[in-house]
Structure 1
Amino acid sequence: GGRVDRYVASTDQAASADWARCQLAAVDVDEIFRAYLNAGVDPHGDQVPVPDGKRAAAASAADRRVAQVVSQVPAGTTILVAGLSDTGVNPHLRVAVAKGGGYGPGLLTSSATRQDGLVTLTDLTSTAFQQLGLKEPQQAVGSAWRSQHSGDSTATRVEDLEDEDVAAQAIRAVQTSFYWVLFATQLVLYAIAALALRRLGNDPRSRARILGGMRVIALLGGAAPGASFLAGLMPWWRAAHPTPVLICAVLGFAGLMTGVALAGPWRRSAFLPGLVITAVTAVVLALDVMTGSSLQLNTLMGYTALVAGRFYGFGNQAFSLFAVAAILTAAWVCEFPLRRHRAEPDPGGPAGASRRAKTVSVGIVAAIGLLTVAVDGLPAWGSDFGGVIAITPAFAMLGMMITGKRVSPVKLGAFCAAGIALVLAISWWNSRSANPTHMGRFWRDLMDGNAWDVVTRKFDAMLNSLGYWPFTLALAAALVFLFFVLARPTRWPAVSLLHRAYQHTMTMRPALICALAVGIIGTLVNDSGVVILSVAFSLATPLMLAAAVRSLELDLDEGTEQPGPRAPRAASTESPSA
């Protein structure tokens, strides 16, 4: 209400009666802030650094102020200490301490973060209402602080919290550069692939080396997004120079995934190496969100505690990566029944498979699709609203295309409506819990008539995402590459690479179309916009290139290369489209 019942200028002037009079007392401990305020800014508007000695003195003064309050308040008082703002140039994680009121030795957490040692500023409001025994207004966001018991010493707990801040700072410093490097590397890969395919030499050995090297690089590019999460298994933030160690960890895990993909007899296949990478990526991301999202936080393609947009479940980038990995995995797993139970000796695609193979394949798609939706959408795991809307129609399309059926605009619209209905059902269920997530709060907004504001805000953010040049540029380049290099046969002396891949892999075409579908729908229904589709292409395009290059290698080995496009084998009259 903007009214303060009792005010004194300083804790030095507060008497015992002042502390006992008010049920809630707010104390401003601003010594560190004033040290930066007195330092001022330079002519360029940058903060003038505060000398270490003055900053240490300000910190000591703040400590004395807190100790004074602790000694003056009545016995049994619950004391909450929170850093409300940043000082200096760079943002950092700030202090949060609770004493009394049921808070024992350990680490603070809340339902808003689900991370031991991390709470948010909006949680402070909920905590105050709980301690005062007041009903929290529906408009308030956040959850009350809870104490998570820890047997570690105070020094160990403080060190762990400092590690969180170091990791957040390191990710903040390199995250944008990581995207630039990842996408720029892929742009260079596309250019090299175009030139190599345009000017392949007549020497079979030269061709083999070029195609083999291109395949390895493409698989490395496809493994890099998943490796960026696996890097969280290494305590890179404890190194003297954490950023270089983080980069080396990503490269190391990407190399390990590529090595596994090319280690066994499956390396001779056009699709199995890619299946290894997509399966590992999907399983790692799924297990992570099902066990607390520890790999998502402070990760290059996840989220950071400094931004504080999300602390658990799938962020938009991780959702895109997980969804595309799951779709490609489901499609390529269906290769096994489709190849085993063929209706003809040499079928030209899923439509040429037997009815039994189609039934088994649809079952595989349905099982993986249901698990993917559950992992992504359930509030206890992925807690992703827009992801369910995108994943549901994409897997429904995949099931139809695997059986050789046509996907009409009407059917696609019905699949999207089913995704919306499903996510609304999850939101309704979550709204009935004691601590609803953003999904449950959206249902409450919908019932109160306030949901349109949320929708328009996210739509505006989606449109503004077109200004994210690292993503927009990489997306445009990937689309051009797919059209001119992989898909357009008239520009190249041999059959198009995608056409070759379609001949060697029965589910390649459905996999590519459905991966594109989940990226486009995800772009339209998420506030990250073009970032969704760019991340989808960062996984799908290199793996498609690797499969297509391997198909070309197989054709060259068999001596089947022709000067022009070959007629499709056993083409179906019901060619799937979207």
Structure 2
Amino acid sequence: MMRFTGLVRAVLLTAAVLLLSSGTAAAQPTGLFAKVVVIGVPGLTWNDVKASPELTALVNQSHVGSITVKTAGPHTCPIDGWLTISAGTRAWGSVPDQSCGDLPAVTNGKVADWQTYVDRQAEHHTGAPIGRLGQTGYSICGFGPGAAVALARTDGSLRHWQPEFDPAQLAKPDCGDAIIDAGALPPREGRAEAREKVAQLVTQARAAGGWVLLVGVSQELANAHQEPLVAMQLPPDNGPRWLTSDSTRRPGLIQLTDVTATVLKGRTPANVDPAGSADAAPLDGNEIHFTGDRHTDAAAVIEDRLDANQRFEQPRPMLFAVSLTIVAAEVLALLWFWFRRSPASRRTAVFTLLMQGGFYLAVFLSTLTVWWRWPSPGFSLYCVIIGISALTALVAQVVLKKYAYLGLAIAAYLILLVDGVLGTPLQVGSMFADGPVIGGRFYGFGNSTFATLAVGALVTAGFAAQRLISKSRVQAAIAVLVVGGAAIVVDGRPGWGTDFGGIIALTPAVLLMAWLTWRGSISLRALIGVGVAGVLAVSAVAFLDYLRPPDQRSHFGAFVARLLDGDVSDVLIRKLQMAVQFFSGPAGWAMLIAVVLCMLGTLLPHRVPSESYRTFYDSLPMVRPTLLALSTCGLVGMLLNDAGVALPAIMTGFAVPLLVAHLMASHQPATVSPESHLVQES
């Protein structure tokens, strides 16, 4: 036991060192001028740039990119966008199920109904300190109603603000940086004229000298098409390139809160806290900088941005279509097998089940096809996913036969390990990435990706241990720690998977699996020890990450910072609300019932009404540890992750079809009984 415990400690220490050996790259110097002028235009899309000669002419004079304007509420109306710039974190300004409406008026030097917006942040637990930007004490001039919202102090009062843009005022020395509201673009009539005025406003702002940031700040309507909007920085530093930030770590993509971080970076008086107050939430954004090669062809840049919109928008709608197609194929194949019980119907049913497993590879491999540049990108993505799912299932079924399930699980594990080490290039545009439209994770592994990696890692670890267990249980346990530890490191290391919640769920599962492999059983005392070891390992990694400079911390260190500052309650409440929202309809309850039944099947295998499953459970020493580890990972993830029941449901959607396919492919009855049932056969 001493030997094994020492080994576990060594593996955890190595994992901690690897997890913390890299961080986010520091922002490049942006060469800021004496003045930073932010021009916000609600609804400014890349189609507007394409349709406007004046805006197109700005492209080769700018660092360019797209900006995600997701805020805390369900819609990003202009009030939401301007409040988010005010707070430096996602804010909630609009009322759900209502139109966006006009921005609040300014009366007697104060934004009307300001307290309403303050109360709205508390009501929805956003934690957004609206008024932060105006409270810094730095001289920032504002022009227009949106700028009034962005620059209002914590009590709603204003200074250095005018209702209309004044070039002469902007050029004055006492006007430091500036925020300009160019007004929302009209949905239809008058949009061309509004685009021309925006281009003129950019020209006027540049004449005052400085660094102009033209950005979309929101959608113009509550029901407007959701897409990343335009971001341009003029003049460009060292030639026109691609905007980025450490918030997104993606060339050509920034987020709305980066605007606040950029304005405040290095420009706040020394006696003023950049956060606005000592108890304010940390900034969600990072300074905007540039990356990549120069661009010199405005038309090509615009088409690239429009292609990027397709890459960000199509995956989620197509996810439903692909899932429906695969499930329908499975149902039809299983019904055919139920009634016919022929070898052909069995092979077809196995193929469709393996096809669902292949889907978990296809969501990532599809990005290698650059489908967003094909004609009809949505339909192209649908065909690519179905094609790769079917091809991987066919290859696995023909080459590996009854062990096809194992090949697909190992392939998922290896693909995601490589993707993580390379900086997760397969995530952008995949169906398992939230993307900038949803405003979720911009880099690293999300919940769906982690669920896939967890299944692949634990099944692969079980296979490796099974090959060694007859020689030595210690060697088999080491194999579990190595295979599982690699997944933990890649999933959690900053710059790779950067997934805090993932390693919380995977670490105890790997430790439990290693213990069961070594000892064959586990006592309550050992189970508690495994849980404590997992908590300590994750806590140590998070605390060490917290010790790094704030701009180099990942999600781990940021969470510890919030915890130590006493600012974690809103975060936890929001995550709990996200987990609970799955139960707002019958689908969430159905997922929970299915997940619980699957977990019970790993704990009480002899109660499962399938002879094939019961035989399989007892057939090999590593089956039980692997299945229990999968259940443990799913249970911990469900209880401690904001994805809630969705995380184990995704794991179930990958693991169960592979298991059933294996049972069906392995079980060849001597006689075919018309009275037998599918459950008994598989």
Class of the TM-score when normalised by the shorter of the 2 chains: 0.7 to 0.9
Give the match for residue 384 of structure 2: 249
Secondary structure class of the residue paired with 1:80: strand
Would you say the 8 A contact 1:478–1:541 is kept in 2?
A: no
Structure 2 distance, partners of 1:388, 1:544, is 25
What is the CA deviation profile of residues 48-74 of structure 1, one whole-angstrom value per residue up to 9, with x for unaligned ones? xx25xx323322222222222223x13
Question: Percent identity of the aligned residues?
Answer: 25
**RMSD between aligned residues:** 3.2
Report how far residue 439 of structure 1 moved.
Answer: 1.8
The match for 1:82 among 215, 224, 239 is: 215
Do residues 328 (structure 1) and 475 (structure 2) align?
no
The match for 2:476 among 361, 364, 368 is: 361
Would you say the 8 A contact 2:517–2:622 is kept in 1?
A: yes
Give the match for residue 494 of structure 2: 379
Give the match for residue 124 of structure 1: 259
Do residues 140 (structure 1) and 283 (structure 2) align?
yes
Letter in 2 for 1:82: V
Structure 2 distance, partners of 1:182, 1:261, is 17
What is the CA deviation profile of residues 556-575 of structure 1, one whole-angstrom value per residue up to 9, with x for unaligned ones? 59xxxx99xxxxxxxxxxxx
The match for 1:69 among 205, 208, 225 is: 205
Structure 2 distance, partners of 1:399, 1:136, is 47
Structure 2 distance, partners of 1:190, 1:319, is 29
Report how far residue 528 of structure 1 moved.
Answer: 1.0
- Does 150-159 or 217-226 show the bigger shift? 150-159
Structure 1 distance, partners of 2:355, 2:538, is 35
Give the match for residue 308 of structure 2: 164
More helix by share: 1
Structure 1 distance, partners of 2:332, 2:327, is 10
Report how far residue 6 of structure 1 moved.
Answer: 2.8
**For residues 25 and 544 of structure 1, do their structure 2 counterparts lie closer, same or farther at Cα, with a shift above 3 Å needed?**
same
The aligned length equals 507
The match for 1:27 among 176, 180, 205 is: 180
Letter in 2 for 1:173: P
1:213-292 to 2 correspondences below 5 Å: 213-264=348-399, 266-267=400-401, 270=402, 272-292=403-423
Unaligned runs of 5+ in 1: 37-49, 339-352, 564-578
**For residues 217 and 408 of structure 1, do their structure 2 counterparts lie closer, same or farther at Cα, with a shift above 3 Å needed?**
farther
Structure 2 distance, partners of 1:537, 1:232, is 24
**For residues 448 and 521 of structure 1, do their structure 2 counterparts lie closer, same or farther at Cα, with a shift above 3 Å needed?**
same
**For residues 481 and 535 of structure 1, do their structure 2 counterparts lie closer, same or farther at Cα, with a shift above 3 Å needed?**
closer
What is the CA deviation profile of residues 503-560 of structure 1, one whole-angstrom value per residue up to 9, with x for unaligned ones? 554423322221122111111111110110110001110111112112213x659xxx
**For residues 95 and 230 of structure 1, do their structure 2 counterparts lie closer, same or farther at Cα, with a shift above 3 Å needed?**
same
Letter in 2 for 1:165: N
Give the match for residue 8 of structure 1: 162
Letter in 2 for 1:161: R
Structure 1 distance, partners of 2:522, 2:260, is 50
What is the CA deviation profile of residues 198-251 of structure 1, one whole-angstrom value per residue up to 9, with x for unaligned ones? x675xxxx2x33332222221111111221111111121122311111111111
Unaligned runs of 5+ in 2: 1-134, 136-152, 276-280, 678-682
Structure 2 distance, partners of 1:514, 1:84, is 45
Structure 2 distance, partners of 1:226, 1:479, is 25
Give the match for residue 415 of structure 1: 530
Do residues 525 (structure 1) and 668 (structure 2) align?
no
Give the match for residue 243 of structure 2: 108
Would you say the 8 A contact 1:402–1:510 is kept in 2?
A: yes
Give the match for residue 572 of structure 1: none
Structure 2 distance, partners of 1:19, 1:311, is 39
Report how far residue 488 of structure 1 moved.
Answer: 7.5
Secondary structure class of the residue paired with 1:21: coil
**For residues 18 and 497 of structure 1, do their structure 2 counterparts lie closer, same or farther at Cα, with a shift above 3 Å needed?**
same
Give me the TM-score of the superposition, normalised by structure 2: 0.68
Letter in 2 for 1:389: I
Would you say the 8 A contact 1:286–1:375 is kept in 2?
A: yes
Report how far residue 364 of structure 1 moved.
Answer: 1.0
Report how far residue 450 of structure 1 moved.
Answer: 2.9
Structure 1 distance, partners of 2:648, 2:158, is 50
Letter in 2 for 1:136: P
Structure 2 distance, partners of 1:117, 1:310, is 16
Structure 2 distance, partners of 1:288, 1:222, is 19
Structure 1 distance, partners of 2:215, 2:657, is 46
Secondary structure class of the residue paired with 2:433: coil
Give the match for residue 426 of structure 1: 541
Structure 1 distance, partners of 2:321, 2:291, is 36
Give the match for residue 317 of structure 2: 173
Give me the TM-score of the superposition, normalised by structure 1: 0.80
Would you say the 8 A contact 1:501–1:547 is kept in 2?
A: no
Secondary structure class of the residue paired with 1:27: strand
Secondary structure class of the residue paired with 1:422: helix
Would you say the 8 A contact 2:250–2:442 is kept in 1?
A: yes
Give the match for residue 389 of structure 1: 504
Task: With a CA cutoff of 8 Å and minimum separation of 6, indicate the structure with the bigger relative contact order.
Answer: 2
Give the match for residue 342 of structure 1: none
Report how far residue 277 of structure 1 moved.
Answer: 0.6
